[in-house]
Amino acid sequence: SSAMAVGGGCPFTGSNAKAEATKAKCPFDNTPADFDMFEGPYQVDPAEALRWSRDREPVFYSPKLGYWIVSRYEDVKAVFRNNDVFSPSIALEKMTPNSPEANAVLEKYDYGMNRTLVNEDEPAHMERRRVLLHSFLPEELAHHEEMVRKVTRQYVDRFVDRGEVDLVEDMLWEVPLIIALNFLGVPEEDMDRLREYSIAHTVNTWGRPTLDEQIGVAEAVGKFWQFSGEVLEKMRKNPNGHGWMDYSIRKQKELPEVVTDSYLHSMMMAGIVAAHETTANASANAFKLLLENRALWESICANPALIPNAIEECLRFSGSFVAWRRRAIKPAVVGGVDIPEGAKLLIVMASANHDERHFENPDELDIYRDNTTDHLTFGYGSHQCLGKNLARMEMRIFFEELTKRLPHMELVPNQKFEYLPNTSVRGPDNLWVRWDPSKNPERTNPEILGSRYPIKIGPPSKQDLSREMRVETLERIGENILAVTLKDPNGNALPRWNAGSHIDFEVGDFSRKYSLCGEAGDNSTLKVAILREDNGRGGSLHIHQTLREGMSVRIRGPKNHFRLNETHDDYVLIAGGIGITPIIAMADRLKSLGKPYQVHYAGRVRANMAMVGRLMRDHGAVTSLYAGDEGQSLDLAATVAGIGAQTHIYSCGPESLLNALQDLMEPIADRLHIEHFSAVATGLDPENETAFEVELADSERTLTVAANETLLDALEAAGIDIQSDCREGLCGSCEVRVLDGEADHRDKAMSATEHATSDRLMSCCSRAKKGSRLVLAL
């Protein structure tokens, strides 16, 4: 849980919400009837403004807006996932409908913006998306890297000696626009006019424009539309470049019924909008966040390998799209709430991205977070942002150039950040930074101007996420057990962790998971206890042999796959051997919550039962110990039989203990909680699947796909790079060509007709028909 949740304070008044509840209501603590998106808390901090909803009413109807608001991670993702029920057709509809006068202006310009990819229903959408996603493949995006770097450097050159600049005005607003125009393939000589017309669409679509504003916007939109058409006609004459529009024009010749004229004209205009403001705002949010957290800014200056994940974390923490829309075209259920047919839904990604049910310490900016790419700022599933890897590449280059050339820049203090009032797009209007130009590194070391960090296109690499820690103390707390206390080498605070959290501990080539077992509330150290397993895979032995105080190690996490649900009435905690580590943290937590609980701790030999002293000191009255070498044993059957009707059991220990508990508790399985270290399920039932062979024609190899793995897994394990996003058959990015064999299609990215006739398959979920062998063009 977060700083705010823990403190319970109102972010507006600074008072304690609970204590003051009777006096003045905290404006962040809202109700469905009062909730407003155009003013108040939502405009200040959309994630915080929906905390009450995430906690108490995660799906609710807002009478003021006429929308159903969805605020939890799982529910937002479920709506994105299912576009048979939740149509994207209203995604770009105006929140505030146009006046007749504004519509008359648009008519004057023959304005005919039609469906573009983002608000299109199936089956038209997926067919088009799959035809057009070619320009977004890594090898295609690589053609634009040089251009992105050149434009970025040009802008930085202009202000690098100035000492103070508004990053939004002087760089982050314009550079993504110029990159968007280049990406589309717009001829150089037409860029200036398009730049002039592509004015803030945000107010028009997601804001509450006044009547006068509406007419002004309509004039600009009309002109933009007209001129986009002219530029398109010109591009048709020579569509040979790497631009997305060039490619689309070429594809039209092959597939005129998929890539229509109306589509091309609409996309010409919509493409600029999709690529521009999104990336400009996301960049401004990210610079603001990282400069506000100076220690993190310094970390990325010192180690550019951290930049990709830091950007991703900023997209999670404060994305440029905070909400998106869908319409229920059938009666539906979201998060247990009935949604009527025709209902409009506002799914709030900003809220989902701060949902503690999915992200550890969601209100902390943690650039090492290893599931940060799960954020929903790019949407999810069949409409997930096609341009996300272009946006990532741009932002990485912005950060790389500025951390290299102006590492000493800082936010101008006491500036007030203004945001354009609207429901969906978010970024500061200005971002003033300053620095001492005489200290610019390039003045003494001009080589840095030529240096560049290699850009990898795609999501951040997990390899770069580990953080360095120092071994503060080592203590033997059992015959074969080492307690290890870790500290940040620079003394920085560490991320908060909860009972049940673990870290991945990397020593040499080994990486092992260990539960955290330090004292609650200590965020300056992390503590684990490591049992030497002489017959294990060698990791613990290696750690015991090589670890020394003062040594530097690398860790990932903390993460929690063993969460304590704090809402139950009664708890029994059962630990076997070294499994005491998460259990003692849970006992500490339950004690501080004042919940009834009991602890059973069994070990084979007393000498290897760790932390008995601390356990008995803090939990002695409710703890029973069973040392095998002293003839004591835990009677699991009797313990389970004796629990109350509301009791939940949390257990950690050897496989045999957990299996026995699972058997005993089969009829009440929902009251048994054990750790699941493998968080990703493939959704495959190995009992009903069969293994099959695939032959890779280009690389002349044959692989076997086991019954419990996907084709994509097998290809990746064999070192073959395949694009993938959703990994559940929705987005179309993992397509491969089948040269021979019969595919068993299981995706939703292709239509039934295509399944019958196409030579493609989605490798994340489709397999070979029983008895068939697939030959792939890989």
User: Could you list the residues that contact ligand HEM (CB under 6 A)?
Assistant: 80, 88, 117-118, 129, 271, 274-275, 278-279, 282, 319-321, 324, 377-381, 383-387, 390-391
Residue nearest to ligand HEM (CB): 387
181 binds, among ligand HEM, ligand FES, none (CB under 5 to 8 A by kind): none
The site for ligand FES, by CB under 6 A, has a size of 14
For residue 533, what are its two tokens? 């397993």
CA distance 735 to 750: 10
Would you tell me how many other CB atoms lie within 10 Å of the CB of residue 631? 7
379 binds, among ligand FES, ligand HEM, none (CB under 5 to 8 A by kind): ligand HEM
Cα 49 to Cα 52, 53, 491: the distances in Å are 7, 8, 33
9 binds, among ligand FES, ligand HEM, none (CB under 5 to 8 A by kind): none
Residue 657 or 734: the one with the smaller Cβ distance to ligand FES is: 734
**Are 773 and 702 spatial neighbours (Cβ–Cβ below 8 Å)?**
no
Q: In what order do the strands lie in the sheet with 432-434?
A: 164-166, 432-434, 410-411
Give the one residue of 730, 738, 743, 761 binding ligand FES; rule: CB under 6 A: 730
Residue 59 or 126: the one with the smaller Cβ distance to ligand HEM is: 126
Percent of the chain as helix, strand, coil, to the nearest 5: 40, 20, 40
Helix ranges, 303-437 (H): 307-317, 349-352, 388-405
159 backbone dihedrals φ, ψ, rounded to 5°:
-120, 0
Residue 28 or 321: the one with the smaller Cβ distance to ligand HEM is: 321
555 binds, among ligand HEM, ligand FES, none (CB under 5 to 8 A by kind): none
**Contact region with ligand FES (CB under 6 A), list: 47-55, 279-287, 636-644, 731-739:** 731-739
In 3-state terms, what secondary structure has residue 453?
coil
Q: Nearest approach, Cβ of 113 to ligand FES (angstroms)? A: 28
Q: Is residue 460 a contact point for ligand FES (CB under 6 A)?
A: no
Site string for ligand FES, 677-716 (x = CB under 6 A): ----------------------------------------
367 binds, among ligand FES, ligand HEM, none (CB under 5 to 8 A by kind): none
Site string for ligand FES, 749-778 (x = CB under 6 A): x------------x-x--------------
**Are 350 and 95 spatial neighbours (Cβ–Cβ below 8 Å)?**
no
Q: Is residue 743 a contact point for ligand FES (CB under 6 A)?
A: no
Would you tell me how many other CB atoms lie within 10 Å of the CB of residue 500? 24
Q: Nearest approach, Cβ of 749 to ligand FES (angstroms)? A: 5
Q: Is residue 727 a contact point for ligand FES (CB under 6 A)?
A: yes
Amino acid identity of residue 390, one-letter, is L
Residue 353 or 763: the one with the smaller Cβ distance to ligand HEM is: 353
Phi-psi label, residue 40: left if phi above 0, alpha if psi -120 to 50, beta otherwise: left
CA distance 287 to 297: 9
Give the one residue of 733, 743, 745, 768 binding ligand FES; rule: CB under 6 A: 733
Residue 95 or 711: the one with the smaller Cβ distance to ligand HEM is: 95
724 binds, among ligand HEM, ligand FES, none (CB under 5 to 8 A by kind): ligand FES
Residue 314 or 586: the one with the smaller Cβ distance to ligand HEM is: 314
CA distance 266 to 260: 10
Pairing of the two strands 481-487 and 467-478:
antiparallel
**Are 309 and 32 spatial neighbours (Cβ–Cβ below 8 Å)?**
no
Residue 198 or 733: the one with the smaller Cβ distance to ligand FES is: 733
Give the one residue of 598, 725, 760, 767 binding ligand FES; rule: CB under 6 A: 725
Peptide bond into 654 cis (omega under 30): no
Helix-helix angle 307-317:294-302, to 10 degrees: 150
Q: Nearest approach, Cβ of 267 to ligand HEM (angstroms)? A: 8
**Contact region with ligand FES (CB under 6 A), list: 102-110, 434-442, 636-644, 726-734:** 726-734
Strand partners, 487: 470, 525
Residue 320 or 382: the one with the smaller Cβ distance to ligand FES is: 382
Helix ranges, 345-387 (H): 349-352
CA distance 370 to 558: 9
**Contact region with ligand FES (CB under 6 A), list: 222-230, 284-292, 591-599, 723-731:** 723-731
390 binds, among ligand HEM, ligand FES, none (CB under 5 to 8 A by kind): ligand HEM
For residue 390, what are its two tokens? 């272009």
Would you tell me how many other CB atoms lie within 10 Å of the CB of residue 225? 20
**Are 245 and 253 spatial neighbours (Cβ–Cβ below 8 Å)?**
no
Residues that bind ligand FES (CB under 6 A): 724-727, 729-734, 747, 749, 762, 764
